[in-house]
Amino acid sequence: MSQSLRITVWNEGVHESTKDPAGMAAYYPDGIHGAIAAGIGGQLPDATVRTALLSDPEHGLGEAVLAETDVLLWWGHKAHRQVDDDVVDRVQRHVLGGMGLLVLHSGHFSKIFTRLLGTTCSLSWRNAAEREVLWTVAPTHPIAEGVPNPLVIPEQETYGEFFDIPTPDELVFISSFTGGEVFRSGVTFHRGQGRIFYFSPGDERYPVYNQPEIHRILANGIRWAAQPDLPRAAPTVSNPPRNWFDPE
């Protein structure tokens, strides 16, 4: 990579103000997006990291922002339906054109993830503040570099199979939980020219995004997904003409 990476961290930013804001502020005083941005900034000191929220104009994901983003990180939970379809269209175009996408935790139900994967992306879950043990199953994968195996997350929401996603291109991490569930917690996909990494640890109730090992995984995922020297092939118009894809 011949240039510094440009990263955008997107968070719906709803829990911070509506669901135990005092409790969240104890470990995410700058919001989930702030914690993620600070963590990856420490791992990638030469990167440019910006944040965007659902409440921003165009959700903070206008054409110019995406054109200047090598990797987009997406955290959402309770406001998936509030994301404007025009913004989803725009993000999809840029992923297909080569922008990297990291989908985090309950972002598995986001419009952009379900659209790119073409399945419901549903799973089983419960929340009992149980221990999660993250096991590396692809130790030579770049996303696993420098990650302890296993990595223990003291408290976390429990996700379990079946996870309704297509067969991943690469399975990097599998998690086990105190209650016995197992889950494909770190998987990769390729769509168009874009690279996608889904990583499940990171519920808003627990300070998962404050763990240095999680910062390392996110930074590794960004490095893997980024293609800064690839000319972005995303169309620059919102509504291409009918013959856009017709052969000459």
Long-range pairs of 236-245 with CB within 8 A, sequence gap ≥ 24: 236/63, 238/63, 238/86, 238/89, 238/90
Model pLDDT, residue 245? 47
- Going by pLDDT thresholds of 50, 70 and 90, the confidence category of residue 141 is very high
Q: Give pLDDT tens digits for 20-69.
A: 666 677 889 999 999 999 999 999 999 999 999 999 899 999 999 999 99
What is the arithmetic mean of pLDDT over 128-149?
A: 97
CA distance 206 to 200: 13
Angle at 103 between CA 47 and CA 183, to 5 degrees: 130
The pLDDT of residue 183 is above 70: yes
Q: Give pLDDT tens digits for 150-166.
A: 999 999 999 999 999 99
Q: Give pLDDT tens digits for 203-241.
A: 888 999 999 999 999 999 999 999 999 988 766 555 554
Model pLDDT, residue 188? 98
Q: 153: closest CA among 170, 124, 176?
A: 176
The pLDDT of residue 85 is above 60: yes
Q: Give pLDDT tens digits for 10-19.
A: 998 788 776 6
Q: Give pLDDT tens digits for 90-107.
A: 999 999 999 999 999 999
The pLDDT of residue 172 is above 70: yes
Contact by Cβ (8 Å): 196, 189: yes
Pairing of strands 48-53, 71-75: unpaired
The pLDDT of residue 179 is above 90: yes
Model pLDDT, residue 233? 75
Model pLDDT, residue 38? 96
The model's pTM: 0.91
% of residues, the chain, pLDDT over 90: 80
The residue among 197 and 1 whose pLDDT is bigger is 197
Q: What is the mean pLDDT of the chain?
A: 91
Instruction: Give the class (CATH, top level) of 6-117+185-225.
Output: alpha beta
